[in-house]
Structure formats: structure tokens, C-alpha cells
Amino acid sequence: MGNRQEVALLTGAGSGIGRAAALELSRRGVAIAVTDLRAEAAQAVAAEIRAQGGVAVGLALDVADPVAIGAVFDRAEAELGGIDILVNSAGLLIVEPLLGLASESWHKVMAVNVTGTFLCSQRAGRGMAARGHGRIVNIASISGMRAGVGRAAYGTSKAAIIGLTRQLALELGPLGVTANAIAPGVIETPMTMGAYSEETWARVLDMVPARRRGLPADIAEAVAYLASAGAGYVNGVVLTVDGGYMAAGMTQTGALRV
């Protein structure tokens, strides 16, 4: 690496977890390629980073489009340099009951969440392998580890991301590249806020030992760690950042309640 400034490309970074991760990595001295399906959102986050003294470009990217991926990576590399860190944060949540789930919805979720993560990882991984160093951080979900009503497509896609992460870790590890996933729990983002009513929020939070919704900043800290030099021997893990939700299991036993 020498003294060259590290470069990170983040997908879905126009809002939510991706935006928070972009800001956190910038604070740690990383140059940022902010990409999002919405060009104006990507450019706004890049401008925010530059206003804070960081280095950033904002680029429109549809991760379901292989041609667009190649073009955006080429431009990011031309402006900032080789990509050292990839954060696959772009995601699509469609909540529909299993028996009524439209095939179009299924394919759309898979195209963004799974195929997009694969294509971006493959493109970034080639450059990382050539340089002998790299970090890939995939945003999965606890929905990829536990089923949820209406989440047949979303949950399955996130389980696939976990499997893909392990495959990347196995094949890219010998080339100096680590690949890890973060499984967020209930996080306050524009995408998730609309998926819950006040009643379901209360029920979910009753199962979270931390007794609060997570914030994008909680996930950004985990991203920054997995992207750091200090995580060089961390490879193929799924890090749950969920306030203890996955650990809790049965939250009530008889008359006892926590």
C-alpha cells in the first residue's frame, strides 16, 4: 500500500447504512466512491464528504446492470485509484406473503441483492487480487439467518449473500483479499422504516435485549473495522450487529420476563 490513500467504493451509499459507512470510512482517511441508483443521492453524499475535508466522487450505479458496473468501476479507478475496499450495501426489500409473491418481485430482489453483490465483488476482486490486498464487506441481514413473514425473497437473498461471502473468503483469501459479511438487525433506515407499523416495532423491540432500534452508525463502525488493517486475519465471518436479537432466543419463560 505504501503511502497511497486507500480507496473505497460503496454501493447503495446514497442513504442509510451505505451513507453512514461512507462517512465513517472518510473520517478514517479513505477516499470514497459513493454509488447509488439515484445519481443525485450519490452526489449529495459525496459533496457532504468533501465539505468535511474528505475525498469523494458520486456516481450513479444500477448494480443489476453488468455493463454499468464495469463503467462505474473504471471511472472510480480513473479518478481515485485502485479500489482497496468494497462495501456492497445496495439492497432491495420487498415484503410479500410467500404464496402471493410475484415472480417479478423475486427476480428483482435477487438481481439487486445477490447478483449485484456477486458482480461488484468479482470486478473489485480482480483488481484487489492483482495488487495482493483488499477488503470486501457485504451487508447481509439477520433475515438471512432467521425466517420472517413476507420475507421469502429478501431473506433468501441475504442467506445467499452469506454463502457468497464464504466463497469469496475461500477463493480470494490466498490472494490477500478478505471477505466478510455484516448481518444487521433492526436498523432505522429509509428502506426498513416503511416495513413496520407501530405495533410491529413494539413487538420486535421487545425481542431485542438492547431495547432500541439500531442506527446506521452502528453498522458503519462494524464496516470500518472489517475494512481496516486490524481485521487482516478476519475472513469469512458473519458479524451480527443486532442489539442481541440473535442471541436472545426465547425471551420469555413462564412468568419470567427480561
Question: Does 66 map to a domain?
Answer: yes
Q: Specify the CATH number for the domain of residue 126.
A: 3.40.50.720
Question: Does 186 map to a domain?
Answer: yes
pLDDT exceeds 70 at position 185? yes
Percent over 70 (pLDDT), the chain = 95
- Domain hosting 176: range is 7-240
* Catalytically annotated residue among 154, 196, 233, 245: 154
User: For residue 93, which of 12, 206, 180, 8 has the smallest C-alpha distance?
Assistant: 12
Question: Does 61 map to a domain?
Answer: yes
Instruction: Count structural domains, the chain.
Output: 1
Question: Does 141 map to a domain?
Answer: yes
What average pLDDT does the chain have? 93
Query: In the structure, what pLDDT confidence band is assigned to residue 188 with cuts at 50, 70 and 90?
Result: confident
Question: Does 249 map to a domain?
Answer: no
Q: What is the pTM of this model?
A: 0.94
Per the annotation, the verdict on 154 as an active-site residue is yes
Backbone phi, psi, residue 219, to 5°? -75, -35
* Range list of β-strands (E), the chain: 7-11, 31-36, 56-60, 85-88, 134-139, 177-184, 238-241, 252-253, 256-257
Question: Does 72 map to a domain?
Answer: yes
Q: Are residues 210 and 163 in contact, defined by beta-carbon separation less than 8 angstroms?
A: no
Question: Does 217 map to a domain?
Answer: yes
Query: In the structure, what pLDDT confidence band is assigned to residue 17 with cuts at 50, 70 and 90?
Result: very high
Question: Does 254 map to a domain?
Answer: no
